[in-house]
Amino acid sequence: MDGAAHTGDRLSDVPVKVSAEYQGRPGDIARGRELAGAFLARVREAQGAAVSDRAVEVVQLVVSELLTNACKYAPGPSLVELELAEDRVEVTVWDSAPVLPVPATADPGRIGRHGLEIVTAVCESFEVHREPVGKRMRAAVGLTGQPTAPLGRPA
């Protein structure tokens, strides 16, 4: 896995955390999606965890959207981290831009800039924090792929 580092505790020889650094080069978003797919496949195989196909697709989508924002709007490297936490996967993307992203107002006629709308629609939670250098965006996706309490909507 291109630049991936396996860290953290292990459950049944499966890393519960994986990370990779990206430089904003062509192919980074695809490599981020591959990182997510391979991580969840290992979790599924070795843990016997009930990771739905939908969860894999949602995590890959979230990685794509957050990494795209990092590559597009932040100079310098970005870091993607995936961590298994109970019944969810936490996707964290760090980048060097201090400006916090704000989802645009819903506009079906707008072309592009729907990434954060998509992330908040498919995740159990989404948060952004300014860091000493840049920011950290974290989204949680349930292993079933269905949010237990979608953002802004009752469960």
Per-residue pLDDT of the chain (155 residues; tens, 9 = 90+): 444 444 444 444 555 899 999 998 989 999 999 999 999 998 888 766 688 999 999 999 999 999 999 999 898 899 999 999 888 999 999 999 999 988 777 788 888 878 888 999 999 999 999 999 999 999 999 988 665 444 444 33
Domains in the chain, start-ordered, CATH in brackets?
A: 4-142 (3.30.565.10)
Report whether 145 contacts 57 (CB < 8 A): yes
Report whether 65 contacts 119 (CB < 8 A): yes
> Order of strands across the sheet with 78-85?
4-11, 14-22, 78-85, 88-95, 135-142, 125-130
Residue for token pair 């970005």:
78
Instruction: Write the single-letter amino acid at 100.
Output: L
pTM: 0.82
Give the rounded distance of the alpha carbon of 87 from its chain centre.
Answer: 15
Per the structure block, which two tokens stand in for 118? 């998509």
